Structure 1
Amino acid sequence: MGAGKDRGAITDGSGRFQLYQMSMGTKIKISYLGYESQIVVVNSPEEMIQVRLTPISTSLSEVTVTAFESDRKLMDIPAAIGYLGSRDLERFAIVSPHQAFSTLPGVKVHTTTIGRYQVKIRGGSMGTIGHGDNYKSYWNGIPITTSNGFNPLAYFDMGNVGNVSVIRGPSGSIYGAGINGVMLFESKEPTEGETSLQTDGLYGSYHTYRYNLEFASATDKGDIRLQYSQVHTDGYRQEAASDNEFISVSGNIRASEKGKVTFLAQYVDRFYGIPGNLNAGQVLENRKQPGNSPDFDNGLTTLSLMVGAAHDYRWNERWQNITSFSYLASEGTFLIGTPFFSLADETLVTSFSMRTATSYNFKTLGNRNGRWVIGGELTRGINQVNDFTDGFNSPIYSSRRSTDRVFLGFSQVEVDLPLDFTLMAGASFNNYFLGFREYLADDIPAFSKYVNDISPRLAITKKMGENIVLHGNISKGFTPPPRGAIDNTGRNINADLQSTTGLNQEIGIRGNLFDSRFHFDLITYRLNERNVILPKVMGNMGGIDLIRNENAGAINRLGIELTSAYDFRHLTGRNFSQAKLWTSYTYMHHVFDTYHSLQTAENEESIEISYSGKVIPGIHPHTLVKGADLAMRNGFYINATYSNYTGIYLNNENTDKDTAYAVLDFRSGIRRPLGSRFKGEIYAGINNALDERYTAVHNLNAFLGSYFDPAPGRNYYGGFSLKYFLLP
């Protein structure tokens, strides 16, 4: 529409439009739902104008997610789901996911350096030997969690992520193992009809930098995106350096109107240092000093290759099938050295996954919609580990091989009911196999283990008008005993371990109010975990506790999760394309229901102790994250984030505690077209602007009180992005 005029035009399917009687210097305003409006100037009456609109954060009613094999609006999904779009991820320095992911309620990503992450969804696992973070991951619908529960979050450059949906809580009815949740990643996709070349650069404190070069092209027949990126930091603490190099290719092939093939391939070369934890005295003395010995090259190195593809075929309006696979091969080393001991190992991991899901759309009474999904998922992996006695130049004392196989068979029915109810019911059968063999130590027996689990889920939604949805679900989740918990690095084997299970109950309400300017999503949950695998002291020998992993405890988890956002563009005039205030709040009350162990008294006798009723260490009872996002139509923007965390207990006894802390982050820049062929951005940011002193990652129940891994103080970064459109 001509700015200031009543005349306008609507584009056709290819985005073409015509306006007549335009004079030189006329301003035209281009707008579309979900995108930033843009004003262009006509320099010639016959000029062909090319306009590229930029997506903005959308409301709950506009976001579509693929969770539970159902392409529904986020508004209508009967589960606790957090969503991050590309702009949400770019509110911070895009070298790490921990800041953006931690803005979601119930989610916190802990990090000591780039590439070393611990993801906690609703408190995460207990961090026991051999435990993963108890969630699953999919990329473009392709399963990428390995058979032993490893999630390769650090294997992806965050600049390659278009959006991510985080399902909080058990979703075993269709995704299998993972008590805490599921992460669904989607790649960035180029716009149809465009071919572009882009380069990005970032530099910040502690010699942190990221360089990125990418090529993207898309037609009506498919798209492709090639990317090379390098991310480095010297680290805030000594021994915390990190080097990461990524090469990736992803895209889609639209073979016909009925079928599409999505593919992904990525090579990663990465290293990160492990500085080690400090006690309170060491933190006061010098928070940057390493806890591990600087005489060793402490850290982890990894070379990995991942490939995957998915085929989506729709026979007709009723039948559809999506089949995908992934393959991961990774080799690496791990080394930690202290004045008292050293740990060194070499690891070779391969993992193959395949998933298929067939859906049938049907009509029920009253011509209401129904959908039935049936499918299966198989993951198989081999993990070979060699342990050295004292560094890599010493002899190998243990060589072990484990084979993991996970099979998931699932079915789900989704039906629209009268009175605006929707019912979703599903269940899965899960079979887990672990085979273990030690090649060097004769006293360690080979063993195999089978575990079967059934995971049902029942969920319902009720629309309260067009803008409010009530929902609730009851689901069972589980996590099979991980190899590391069973063999405990080849010692104290306990092949009798069973899966940790959890019954989850949720009630929630979400909606849009005040002409969709105010969005909210409120969830309450209760999760009762049983057969929790925990380290249990079985006795004492020569002053050394004899520890064995057991299904030793039960945990009760209660929580509240809230997100809200208010769009106040209507109060700012026409100069702003985005003006939003938002809040994320999490309350967690997680306690041991039962947990008994032994403790060595001063006379070296073992006495029984109970942690029942104690608060789970490492859990922030209250987390409040607040943000403000402003974007002007001339391309200038500013993002501010204030994150407040209450104190946590550091040990099971609840005798040691870390204090509360708050972090303030800013990012500001300008992004805009530079003529018809270029689009650029420059930006700068401040992390921890208040220079808060806090700990990034805690080593819970640490020996001699070495709980702390201090986080950086105030630090800075800046960067640029330049995109050149080769076509059209």
Structure 2
Amino acid sequence: MKPYLRFFFFSLLLSFFLLPGLTLAQTTINGQVLDARTKQPLEGVSITANSGEQSISSSQGQFTLSADEAERVTLTLLGYKSQQISLTNNRANLRILLQPEATRLQEVLVTGYENKRPLLETAGAISVINQSVLQRFDESSVVRAVNTVPGIRMDERAPASYRISIRGSSLRSPYGIRNVKLYFNGIPLTEANGTTSLNTLDAANIGSIEILKGPTASIYGAGTGGTILLESRRAAVGETQLQVGATTGSYGFRRYLASVSTGSAKSNVLVQYTRQQYDGYREQSAVDRHVLLVAPEFYVSPKHTIAASIIYSDLYYELPGGITKEQYDQNPRQARGGMFGSVAQNASMNQDGFNFGLKQEYTFNQSWQNTTSIYTLHRFRDHPFNTDYERNTNLELGGRTSFKYKTQLGSIATNYTFGGEVQRGLEAARTYDNIGGQPDSLRTDDEVTATTGFVFGQAELELPSNFILTLALSANDTKYEIDRLAQATSGAAYTYVKDFKTVLSPRVAVLKKLSDQISAHASISSGFSPPTEEEILTSDGELNEDLEAEKGVNYEAGVRGYTLNNRLSFDVVGFYFRLSETIVSQQQVSSVAVFRNAGATSQKGIETALSYTLFDDPEKALSLFKVLGSYTYNHFRFKDFTKGEADLAGNEITGVAPHTATAGLDLATKLGLYFNLTANYTSEIPLNDENTIYADSYFILGSRVGIRRNLGNHLNHLAFEVFGGADNLTDQTYSLGNDINAFGTRYYQPAPDRTYYGGLTLKYRL
């Protein structure tokens, strides 16, 4: 670890443990009022005691009220639901979360770029997936929900085997998630080696998703693909709820859930267990996954919050492998065959994982705030693949700290954000010959140390005439050290070090509020993405010593807002991304993916999202009628790219569909009945760099219908939901997760045909 990273890491640990946890004296009624969704302070809240005394919350949401005889207080603010708090057990350090009214929800607040601003005031291409979108589907995965977002494509090459592309970034991802950074409750899921195991989470763990498209290195470190921020579900204030549920469906799909959640002025806790099993549509595609999530938040004082995130997962899933076009047309349910067939070799993933993160937020005063987290992960993998057998153990430590400072530069309100992040992982990796699903002769024995870190700074200036200017810069550093302890071919031990030079990544963005409902934004940002460990150390044991980091510059401009009496929302973004030293992948004879730099690419596109609410009135018989849609156009081309003797400059970028579109319909009634319909279209996709083979376009439909109700009378605290649905109603034969540049033309990973599911959920509110 470099000296400045070591200093930063220890400074981060000290800042976490030494920040004061001050509490206020309990001689008066005092506390802080926050938005229940964003946890941002609310100014101007009226606090009225039942004895008549009144107070108003400050810009930090804090209030003090002298009312010795008061037994309760009522809080009111325009746009929020009024709330009454009993003072029987506590009169000091109250933390009160106000729920927005339905009309307030139309202006979405986001945490992207750590500014926690309304989306209308955020200069960047950000898409938000909330509970209403996640619950349109069966919660077996988040794939279908994510694919409703323009500019995003999420693949499932096999059940629980995910791949995410933001603006075409799966070019270097034949499997797994790379070049996209993920956080869960503010704590990195992406490891120091550049990979992310999203399958350690269950879809039910997720309450919301924010997707930041394009280079976001100014705040979230190295990357050219984008950043995804996941937040867990949270109970409403004053609610304690027990929940159990079960779902069953086609091809042996079974899913079970049990959770308890509670929310109060002093804490919010979620404990959730899920199990998902699936026999599989294809041969060798079964899944068995257990996930336990414990996510508590404790509001020590109006100034101090401590939160934890504990995830344990036990995951097994089989890998059917890619098949040829002839096999795909003949029988899409078959697995890869032959000498190294998936069934014969028991190709599968076996993984136990434990993630633990601890985070605190502390507000020193109205100007200064700090958020600091420390985290660790332990992962154990035992994988028979088609051509080899891998056993890996990984241990990682990391931390992140971020300071915010609010001030005035004359008449200009200014927000500064600065801090850093560091991760260090040690992996013991062994590969063996695979003989019928059992490890045989040792091929390689490696110890891999990955260290990555960055420091960042950002300034936001609220200029006259409703302009907001953002200036940001980060310095990113990555290093891999590979100690080869044994190798079957040579037997010689050696050490290889790949140290990438520190790279500065700037970002400049400007936003103009055209009105209270419409804003326009533009930005220029630079991205830097070093190869992952798996791209340098391939599964055949070879070292890819010549591979260099990608670098790119992204230009984008967009407009978003609401119109037609807030019924119509729209978000339109155009972008141009120039990428150099582009990393591409290709399979060898042994089906091992190898990587190399391929000159440059030019990526241009338009992303649009629309939503129109005809009416939304819970008191009417038909309480909700809403339509939504999105469309993405990609004009992605190779530049200066040769492959052998062939000049491929001007070819379409492999694995990217030029056109994708989504449309949806939501209906709900006062009685609790609901209906969701979702349609997806994807155009032809080039499967090789030469553009001689394309996957067919496809159009699929999915629907869900159900009823949610309280039982009433003596069981007023008991609610239920009965639901059923179908996917691929059009019964299309299509491939979701194509293997690009596959050896032997095994490009296709067929998705299931028409499938059905149904389930029951019970909730008991204490």
Query: Which interval holds the TM-score relative to the shorter structure?
Result: 0.7 to 0.9
How far 1:386 moved relative to its partner? 0.8
Whether 1:245 aligns to 2:290 is yes
Q: How far apart, CA to CA, are the structure 1 residues paired with 2:381 and 2:753?
A: 31
- Whether the aligned pair in 1 keeps the contact of 2:79 and 2:103 (CA below 8 Å) is no
Structure 2 counterpart of 1:155, from 182, 200, 210: 200
Match of 1:459 in 2: 509
- The alpha-carbon distance between structure 1 residues 549 and 88, as it changes in their structure 2 partners (threshold 3 A), is closer
| Identity value in percent | 31
Structure 1 counterpart of 2:155, from 110, 113, 118: 110
Q: How far apart, CA to CA, are the structure 2 residues paired with 1:415 and 1:55?
A: 27
Q: How far apart, CA to CA, are the structure 1 residues paired with 2:104 and 2:151?
A: 20
How far 1:251 moved relative to its partner? 1.5
Q: How far apart, CA to CA, are the structure 2 residues paired with 1:512 and 1:649?
A: 37
Match of 2:377 in 1: 328
Q: How far apart, CA to CA, are the structure 2 residues paired with 1:34 and 1:127?
A: 46
Match of 1:376 in 2: 420
Larger displacement relative to structure 2 (95-104 or 342-351): 342-351
Match of 1:610 in 2: 647
Q: Report the RMSD for the aligned CA atoms in angstroms.
A: 2.7
Structure 1 counterpart of 2:669, from 614, 632, 635: 632
Match of 1:193 in 2: 238
- The alpha-carbon distance between structure 1 residues 198 and 129, as it changes in their structure 2 partners (threshold 3 A), is closer
Match of 1:504 in 2: 554
Structure 1 counterpart of 2:109, from 55, 64, 75: 64
Match of 2:711 in 1: 674
- The alpha-carbon distance between structure 1 residues 252 and 505, as it changes in their structure 2 partners (threshold 3 A), is same
- The alpha-carbon distance between structure 1 residues 457 and 293, as it changes in their structure 2 partners (threshold 3 A), is closer
Match of 2:467 in 1: 421
Match of 2:737 in 1: 697
How far 1:180 moved relative to its partner? 1.0
Match of 1:486 in 2: 536
Q: How far apart, CA to CA, are the structure 2 residues paired with 1:642 and 1:332?
A: 37
Match of 1:262 in 2: 307
The one-letter amino acid paired with 1:664 is L
Helix, strand or coil at the partner of 1:250: strand
Helix, strand or coil at the partner of 2:207: strand
Match of 1:361 in 2: 406
Match of 1:685 in 2: 725
Match of 1:168 in 2: 213
Structure 2 counterpart of 1:75, from 106, 113, 120: 120
- Whether the aligned pair in 2 keeps the contact of 1:197 and 1:724 (CA below 8 Å) is yes
| TM-score normalised by the chain length of structure 2 | 0.83
Whether 1:522 aligns to 2:546 is no
- Whether the aligned pair in 2 keeps the contact of 1:492 and 1:548 (CA below 8 Å) is no
- Whether the aligned pair in 2 keeps the contact of 1:323 and 1:357 (CA below 8 Å) is yes
Q: How far apart, CA to CA, are the structure 2 residues paired with 1:124 and 1:558?
A: 13
Helix, strand or coil at the partner of 1:484: helix
The one-letter amino acid paired with 2:563 is L
How far 1:14 moved relative to its partner? 11
Q: How far apart, CA to CA, are the structure 1 residues paired with 2:639 and 2:355?
A: 41
Structure 1 counterpart of 2:455, from 390, 396, 409: 409
Q: Deviations over 1:6-46 (max 9, x none)?
A: xxxxx997999xxxxxxxxxxxxxx99699xxxxxxxxxxx
How far 1:257 moved relative to its partner? 1.0
Helix, strand or coil at the partner of 1:651: coil
- Whether the aligned pair in 2 keeps the contact of 1:34 and 1:55 (CA below 8 Å) is yes
Q: Deviations over 1:240-270 (max 9, x none)?
A: 0001001111120011110101111111001
The one-letter amino acid paired with 1:153 is L
Q: How far apart, CA to CA, are the structure 2 residues paired with 1:694 and 1:547?
A: 23
- Would you say how many aligned residue pairs link Structure 1 and Structure 2? 668
Helix, strand or coil at the partner of 1:111: strand
Helix, strand or coil at the partner of 2:465: helix
Helix, strand or coil at the partner of 2:708: strand
Helix, strand or coil at the partner of 2:602: strand
Match of 2:36 in 1: none
- The alpha-carbon distance between structure 1 residues 559 and 400, as it changes in their structure 2 partners (threshold 3 A), is same
- Whether the aligned pair in 2 keeps the contact of 1:157 and 1:246 (CA below 8 Å) is yes
Match of 1:623 in 2: 660
How far 1:534 moved relative to its partner? 3.3
Q: How far apart, CA to CA, are the structure 1 residues paired with 2:79 and 2:624?
A: 13
Match of 1:295 in 2: 344
Match of 2:746 in 1: 706
How far 1:489 moved relative to its partner? 3.6
Q: How far apart, CA to CA, are the structure 1 residues paired with 2:592 and 2:164?
A: 29
Whether 1:660 aligns to 2:706 is no
How far 1:491 moved relative to its partner? 4.7
Q: Deviations over 1:501-559 (max 9, x none)?
A: 1100000000100111100000000111101123589xx9xx99999743332111111
Helix, strand or coil at the partner of 2:358: strand
How far 1:161 moved relative to its partner? 1.0
- Whether the aligned pair in 1 keeps the contact of 2:291 and 2:312 (CA below 8 Å) is yes
Match of 1:25 in 2: none
How far 1:674 moved relative to its partner? 1.8
- The alpha-carbon distance between structure 1 residues 128 and 135, as it changes in their structure 2 partners (threshold 3 A), is closer
Structure 1 counterpart of 2:361, from 285, 290, 312: 312
How far 1:56 moved relative to its partner? 9.7
Q: How far apart, CA to CA, are the structure 1 residues paired with 2:138 and 2:706?
A: 12
Unaligned runs of 5+ in 1: 1-10, 17-30, 36-52, 599-607
How far 1:431 moved relative to its partner? 0.9
- The alpha-carbon distance between structure 1 residues 110 and 550, as it changes in their structure 2 partners (threshold 3 A), is closer
Larger displacement relative to structure 2 (387-396 or 656-665): 387-396
- The alpha-carbon distance between structure 1 residues 14 and 334, as it changes in their structure 2 partners (threshold 3 A), is farther
- The alpha-carbon distance between structure 1 residues 109 and 548, as it changes in their structure 2 partners (threshold 3 A), is closer
Larger displacement relative to structure 2 (566-575 or 608-617): 566-575
Helix, strand or coil at the partner of 2:141: coil
The one-letter amino acid paired with 1:569 is F
Match of 1:469 in 2: 519
Q: Deviations over 1:368-395 (max 9, x none)?
A: 4210011010011112211112343412
Q: How far apart, CA to CA, are the structure 2 residues paired with 1:330 and 1:261?
A: 25
How far 1:62 moved relative to its partner? 2.1
How far 1:63 moved relative to its partner? 1.4
Helix, strand or coil at the partner of 2:719: strand
- Whether the aligned pair in 2 keeps the contact of 1:627 and 1:639 (CA below 8 Å) is yes
Structure 2 counterpart of 1:716, from 756, 761, 764: 756
Q: How far apart, CA to CA, are the structure 1 residues paired with 2:425 and 2:103?
A: 39
Q: How far apart, CA to CA, are the structure 1 residues paired with 2:681 and 2:346?
A: 35
The one-letter amino acid paired with 1:657 is Y
| TM-score normalised by the chain length of structure 1 | 0.87
Helix, strand or coil at the partner of 1:125: helix
Unaligned runs of 5+ in 2: 1-44, 51-76, 82-97
